Amino acid sequence: MTLTREQAGNRAVEIRWHGRGGQGAKTACLLLADVAFSSGKHVQGFPEYGPERMGAPITAYNRITDTHCKVHSNIYKPDYVAVVDETLLKTVDVTGGLSEEGAVIINTNKDPEELRPFLNGYKGKICTIDAAEISMETLGRNFPNTPMLAAVVKISGVIREDKFINDMEASFKHKFAHKPQVIDGNMQALKKALQEVKVGDKVRS
């Protein structure tokens, strides 16, 4: 029998990522697991494998807890959903199982309420971030996963923002030791996303 997170006695924050192959949704998921682990959390970060071709829809998951988690199943009722590609709203039920006490975070240049008609009656918070524009401004290319990572941290609150920024800078310095311009661009993208994510209201009953 698979334990629920409540039965396991350890309330988890569960996050589901939707993206397309090549956009970095899986990478953002794994980065979130790494930085949460650095903050002292117990973490899981894993993709749901399917066709790995460029542009194909992909799904990835994070489970983050304060103590050891005994739950190792897929995530069916996430607290937060991150949508790295807005076009998926037309073909994927991105809010399926999503808690209305949580939020969906979408990469788009639209305001939150413009997207509610595409979310199958979801009444929780809709958050938007123009991750494509931010990445173009800071990195010179469309790498939406870095701004989306920051937006998820901002909205979910799973990691303190100052701790997140410090740990990500250390990670980038290690990963891109010979490319300092990449470090600066990624740090700018993270900080800009933390400031620019938009939060809509829940639908009132």
> Per-residue pLDDT averaged across 31-38, rounded?
92
Sheet of 125-129: strand order equals 42-48, 57-65, 13-20, 80-83, 103-107, 125-129, 198-199
pLDDT of residue 52 exceeding 90: no
What is the reported pLDDT for 60? Answer: 94
> Per-residue pLDDT averaged across 82-104, rounded?
96
Per residue in 124-147, pLDDT (tens digit) is 999 999 999 999 999 999 999 999
pLDDT of residue 39 exceeding 50: yes
Give dist(CA 19, CA 27) in Å, integer: 11
DSSP-derived pairing of the beta strands 57-65 and 125-129: unpaired
pLDDT of residue 9 exceeding 60: no
At position 9, the amino acid (one-letter code) is: G
What is the reported pLDDT for 205? Answer: 62
Ordered structural domains, the chain, with CATH: 13-196 (3.40.920.10)
What is the reported pLDDT for 10? Answer: 53
Specify whether the backbone of 203 is left (phi greater than 0), alpha (psi in -120 to 50) or beta. Answer: beta
> Per-residue pLDDT averaged across 27-56, rounded?
84
What is the reported pLDDT for 71? Answer: 75
Does residue 201 or residue 81 have the better pLDDT?
81
Does residue 178 or residue 153 have the better pLDDT?
153
DSSP-derived pairing of the beta strands 13-20 and 42-48: unpaired
pTM for this one? 0.90
Contacting residues for 46 by C-beta, under 8 A, at least 6 apart:
29, 60, 61
Per residue in 105-114, pLDDT (tens digit) is 999 999 999 9
